[in-house]
Structures are given as structure tokens and as C-alpha cells.
Amino acid sequence: MSAPASLFSDDLISPEVQSSLPEGYIARPLQRTDFQHGHLDVLRDLAVVGDITEEAWVERYDWMASCHGSYYVLVFVDTKAEPSKQIVATGTLIVERKFLFKLGLQGHIEDIAVAKGQQGKKFGVKLLSALDFVADKVGCYKNILDCSPENTGFYVKCSYEQAGQEMHRYF
């Protein structure tokens, strides 16, 4: 069976965020054809992406789709961009299923990026709001994220509070 055209249901898109976007822009789940709509170009503004073929991108999409209810990659799209519609922002919610907290679900916010030419237009804060909406709808008791000190102020604007200290180890 082939993977679905959309990574998750449109019902999980916040109506409030949808109606707040400028004319011609929409919020929607990542779609299987979004390699062609600049998904990786937006992510390149965040970190190294590497040389990924469309085939490899689709393989990863299909894998995420097979992890039912774990990966929610959301995008904002400029539907009037030329020559074709263009992704202008993307962010991911990963839902972790715990034994703790009565088999609680914890959301992890990852890979938040707004295209360079589109930053400062409130797309970032709306993206977080849209991902928080998904987390709440699917039953997460909280969302957590790691970010650089330069971005702390942005997440405070998104109603996140500082807690703990990030630790990492590279392999």
C-alpha cells in the first residue's frame, strides 16, 4: 500500500491559524510531492541539509507516514508564488509515547524554519501555535524543545518557558 498524499489529517490544522494567514497563504500537513515545493530550501535556512534526491526524500516521507501518529510535519505555503506554489515555513511535532505519566504523550518540537525572505511576518509564531494545536488535539500533555540562546526570546513570544539545560553528544 502506498503512503498517503498528506502526512496527517487536515482536521488537525488550527482554524484560527489558517484564518490568520495573509491572502494566498495556507497552513497544511506536509504532502508527498513537497520536495518539489521547496521543503528542503526552507530547512537550509536552519541547518545543513546535504545533497538529498527526491527519491530519498520520498522514502523518508513514506517512513514517517508509516509511524502512524508520531510525525506531524506542518508547512505554510504561498499558493500564489511563481512559477509554482512555494513552502515558506515548516515545523515538526514528534509525539513520544511514554510509560510515565499514565502512558502519557509528550510532544517534541523540531526543525522550525521560516524562509529567509519571509521572516519577521509572524509566520514563526503562527507555526508554533499550529503545532501546539496539533499536540493538544492528539493528546500531548506538554511540548518541549531545544534551541540556541539567540532564539530563546522567540519561543518566549510563543508562550514557551525556559526549563532545564540542553545536553548533547555527537557521534
List of residues contacting ligand ACO (CB under 6 A): 45-46, 109-114, 119-125, 145, 147, 150-151, 153-154, 157
Decide if 45 contacts 113 (C-beta within 8 A).
Answer: yes
- 109: nearest Cα among 155, 67, 76, 44: 155
Least Cβ distance, residue 70 to ligand ACO (angstroms): 17
Least Cβ distance, residue 54 to ligand ACO (angstroms): 23
List the beta bridge partners of residue 168: none
Least Cβ distance, residue 36 to ligand ACO (angstroms): 21
Q: Which residue is nearest to ligand ACO (CB)?
A: 124
For ligand ACO, give the closer residue by CB, 17 or 109: 109
For ligand ACO, give the closer residue by CB, 54 or 96: 96
DSSP letter string over 40-72? HHHHTTTS------HHHHHHHHHHHHHSTTTEE
- Collect all residues with Cβ–Cβ distance below 8 Å to 35 and sequence separation of at least 6: 54, 57, 58
Is the backbone of residue 81 left (phi > 0), alpha (psi -120 to 50) or beta? beta
Least Cβ distance, residue 104 to ligand ACO (angstroms): 21
For ligand ACO, give the closer residue by CB, 66 or 152: 152
For ligand ACO, give the closer residue by CB, 54 or 111: 111
